[in-house]
Amino acid sequence: MSDFFNPGPHANSTDPGGHKANHDVNEQKLHNEGPQGLWRQISDLLIAVGVIALIIVVFMWIF
């Protein structure tokens, strides 16, 4: 019987098919979208700041 602290004999077994499938998905994503770079991080940050600012403006307008 296995539990959290004693996972049993098959806890560290690897799945080569699963590893290859994960690699293929990541490779396809990189091919379609390109590497995540500085501009993508900046645009995500600007969107987040804009949403937070909009929420603040709505709360100030309500109260």
Mean pLDDT of the chain: 80
**pTM higher than 0.75, yes or no?**
no
Structure-token pair, residue 18: 């699963």
Please state the rounded mean pLDDT for residues 31-35. 74
Q: Which residue has the tokens 């590497």?
A: 35
Confidence band, pLDDT 50/70/90 cuts, at residue 46 = very high
CA-to-CA distance for 56 and 53, rounded, in angstroms? 5
pLDDT of the residue at 23? 86
Residue 3: the pLDDT is: 59
Question: If you count them, how many residues does the chain have?
Answer: 63
The b/e string for 23-52 (b: 16+ C-beta within 10 A; e otherwise) is: eeeeeeeeeeeeeeeeeeeeeeeeeeeeee
